[in-house]
Amino acid sequence: MRHNLSNAPQFYVTAPQPCPYLHGRAERKLFTALMGTGAVELNNELSRQGFRRSQNVLYRPSCEGCVACMSARIRVRGFAPSRTQRRVARRNGDVTRQATSAWATEEQFALFRRYLDHRHADGGMADMDIFEFAAMIEESPVRTRVMEYRTPDGRLLATCLTDILDDGVSLVYSFYDPDEEARSLGTHIILDHVALAQAAELPFVYLGYWVPGSRKMEYKSRFSAMEIYKGGVWQPLGDPAAHRPDIHPLSADPIVEQVARISLPWTKS
C-alpha cells in the first residue's frame, strides 16, 4: 500500500507479518526511501519522529491496533551509569574502539554469523549471506561509521553500525562475540556510544525500539535518562511497568493521518 503527500517522499506500508517481539501479534511498517541530495536531512528529521534506518529505507512501526513499539534514546546530559554498568565499563577497560568507514570485512561477517547462530538462529536475518551483510553495512546514503571493538591482541569482539545524526548517534545494528558473555558487550557498546556523543557534544544516543513486555528489549529500560517517542512526542520513560503493550482496535491512527502529521525538513518555515 502506498501513501504520499504533494512535494513529499512517498510512504508505503508493509503487509502484516508475525511480530518478532510480542507473541501472537502482527507487525506492520510505514516506510519511505532514503536517497538523493536530501537524504541526510530526511534521516535527521524522521529519526526525531521515531523512524529508524535500514540501508536506504527509513521505517517506523505502524501496526493495526497496537502501539507497543516505541523509539528509545538516551539523553546524554542526564545520563548516569548504574553500579552494574560501571562494573561493565571496568570489565572492558582493555577493549579498544576503532571507527572505520562503512565497509564490510570477512572478519566482521564471521563474527556476525557466530552471533546470529547463537542468539538469533530463528530470526529474520538467520539466512543472510556475505553479500547481504555487505549491503547492510555499505548501502548508506548518510554519514555512517563502523565501530570495531578489539582485545589488546587485536581480536574482534564486537561491531556496531552507527549513523551520525545532527543531534546524536544512532545504533543501527550491533553484534558481538557470544562466547564473551561475561563482558556484557551489548551494554559496553551503548556506554561507549554515550561517551562518543559526550565527546562530540551531541545530546542523544538513539537505541532503536523499546517494547514493553518484550524480554528482548528489557535491557534498554535499565539505562538512565531514557526517553521514548510516544503519542508523537519524546518523553521520559519513567517506570517501565507503567507502559502496557495492550491491543485495542482504536489505539493506532489511520495511516493517512499518520503520514499527514510527519514533519519534513524542506517544509519547515
For 75-104, the pLDDT digits (tens) are 999 999 999 999 999 999 999 999 999 999
Compute the distance between CA of residue 86 and CA of residue 191 in angstroms, rounded to an integer. 9
Checking DSSP bridges between strand 168-176 and strand 204-210, what pairing results, if any? parallel
* pTM of the complete model: 0.91
**Residue (of 269, 211, 253) closest to 70 by Cα position:** 211
Residue 269 has pLDDT above 70, yes or no: no
pLDDT at residue 248, as a whole number: 66
Domain over 73-207 is classified CATH 3.90.280.10? no
- Res 127: pLDDT: 77
Q: Give CA separation, 83 vs 37, 110, 217, 222, in Å.
A: 45, 33, 20, 11
Question: Could you identify the residue written with the cell 535500514?
Answer: 54
Nearest-angstrom CA–CA distance, 158 and 108: 8
Angle, alpha carbons 212-11-227 (nearest 5°):
30
- Do 65 and 251 contact (CB within 8 A), yes or no? yes
Q: What percent of the chain has pLDDT over 70?
A: 91
Mean pLDDT rounded to a whole number for the chain: 90
**267 pLDDT exceeds 90?**
no
Q: How far apart are CA 128 and CA 220, in angstroms?
A: 26
* pLDDT at residue 122 in the model: 61
Identify the residue whose cell numbers are 537524504: 39
Give the confidence band of 243 by pLDDT, cuts at 50, 70, 90.
Answer: confident
pLDDT at 5: 46
Q: What is the pLDDT of residue 268?
A: 58
CA atoms within 13 A on the CB side of 241: 0
Q: What is the 3-state secondary structure (H, E, C) of 49-64?
A: CCCEEECCEEEEECCC
194 DSSP 8-state letter: H
Check: CB of residue 247 under 8 Å from CB of residue 107: no
pLDDT digits 0-9 by tens, 136-193: 999 999 999 999 999 999 999 999 999 999 999 999 999 999 999 999 999 999 999 9
Q: Looking at residue 123, what is its pLDDT? A: 57
pLDDT value of residue 131: 95
Q: Is the pLDDT of residue 69 over 70?
A: yes
- Hey, what's the cell of 119? 542468539
SS3 per residue for 151-179: CCCCCEEEEEEEEEECCEEEEEEEEECCC
Cβ contacts of residue 234 below 8 Å, gap of 6+?
Answer: 48, 73, 227, 228
Residue 251 in contact with residue 26, Cβ under 8 Å?
A: no
CATH 3.40.630.30 region(s) of the chain? 73-207
64-71 mean pLDDT: 88
